[in-house]
Structure 1
Amino acid sequence: MVNKHWETSLSKFMTKILRHTPEAFGVTLDPQDGSCPIEDLLKAVQTEPKWSHITADDIRGVVDRSEKQRFEIRAGRIRARYGHSHDKVQYERGTPPLILYHGTNERALPSIMEEGIRPMGRKYVHLSEGTQFAAMAGSRRGELVILQVRTREAAVAGVEFYYAGNEVWLAERIPADCCTLLAAD
């Protein structure tokens, strides 16, 4: 049986390394996709006494069971799919569905409706194809609100969209006039 608290804690530590401070742990990320060999991440994780016993299988388990699908493993390399604050990882430009969703909190709503959605300490705004992921992302810091983003209008306004995988889309910003508050059920 998997200890959910332990796994969540390890996931947060992996997030810190892969999304925010890889250099502090001696990890070099590929500038194109933000990946590194699993073995490099494992060595970095094991430098912390709390995680000295971690194996590559433990890391794979975190990736496989992550509800938010934060990580991806391909060909022996691991990367965070989104949420980077250290460098702008290259993503392939794409054409998203006509509507994407952004979860945020009620306090941020007036600013968003005036200035649009901005990345705030991250490199990109995170959007999702469904409301479930938007709700998970937006409910962390207060009363949840979900915005619908009209992507065709945003593209006409010059917004470029990038697909990060697992129904997550990224953009540098979203103009306010492309956003509508999703009515509560």
Structure 2
Amino acid sequence: MDEKRLVKTSKTLSRVLRHDPGSVGLTLDGAGWVGVAELLAALAGAGRAVSRAELDLVVENNNKRRFAFSEDGLSIRASQGHSVAVDLGLAAAVPPAVLYHGTATRSLEAIFRDGLLPMSRQDVHLSADTETATRVGSRHGRPTVLRVDAAAMAAAGHEFRISANGVWLTDAVAPRYLSRPTDDARDRSVR
């Protein structure tokens, strides 16, 4: 599978498994799973045929590990990022003291006014490192990285969960827990 097809297939899977399973006639179960055979048949029926071998390549080679197979390999789901209602069954987890959120600089005024909100998704997505946050922010324009005081949030009773692909999830982040990176050495690369 060439790189172009790999990316196109990954984007199709993201749309179907995170946002619009009905576009190919699928319904996800309550935890976001759908049978692999059912998915492949639905994609083929919608004119977007993908073989099981191609699906395996997309899941294995996606640098963001967006998708996961069930233990028996018969079902698949997106690891996080859903705009459709699903319960991934992720247990509460103790976050690192600081997490990061990548965004476009044009969004900063609204974020510092309203905080980080899930918008069309179920959760706010946070990263454990600035490199990942920068990549995420760059998808939306000129990136900037915000520091999230996850320790203070957790101490105040906010719940965090971590997805199968290492993305930290929480319901929202109030402005008081947000700051711009400081000039210390580990943050200079994101300025």
Runs (4+) off by over 4 Å: none
Name the SS of the counterpart of 1:153 in structure 2. helix
**Residues 58-102 of structure 1, C-alpha deviation per residue, up to 9 Å, x if partnerless?**
011001111111111122221101110011423222111111111
Instruction: Give the equivalent residue in structure 2 for 1:59.
Output: 55
Q: 1:48: Cα distance to partner? A: 2.7
Larger strand percent: 1
Distance 1:148 1:88 in 2: 28
Instruction: Give the equivalent residue in structure 2 for 1:38.
Output: 36
Written as runs of structure 1 = structure 2, the 5 A alignment for 1:54-93 is 54-74=50-70, 75-76=72-73, 77-90=75-88, 91-93=90-92
Q: Is contact 1:14-1:45 (8 Å) kept?
A: no
Written as runs of structure 1 = structure 2, the 5 A alignment for 1:1-185 is 2-31=1-30, 33-49=31-47, 51-52=48-49, 54-74=50-70, 75-76=72-73, 77-90=75-88, 91-183=90-182, 184-185=188-189
Distance 1:123 1:88 in 2: 9
Q: Is contact 2:94-2:154 (8 Å) kept?
A: no
Distance 1:63 1:163 in 2: 19
Q: 1:156: Cα distance to partner? A: 3.0
Unaligned runs of 5+ in 1: none
Unaligned runs of 5+ in 2: 183-187
Query: What CA RMSD, in Å, does the superposition of the two structures yield over aligned residues?
Result: 1.5
Name the SS of the counterpart of 2:163 in structure 1. strand
Distance 1:34 1:140 in 2: 25
Aligned length: 181
Q: Using the TM superposition, name which of 149-158 and 15-24 deviates more.
A: 149-158
Q: 1:166: Cα distance to partner? A: 2.3
**Residues 19-70 of structure 1, C-alpha deviation per residue, up to 9 Å, x if partnerless?**
0111332222221x31112112111211232x23x21110110011111111
Distance 2:91 2:26 in 1: 23
Identity percentage of aligned residues: 34
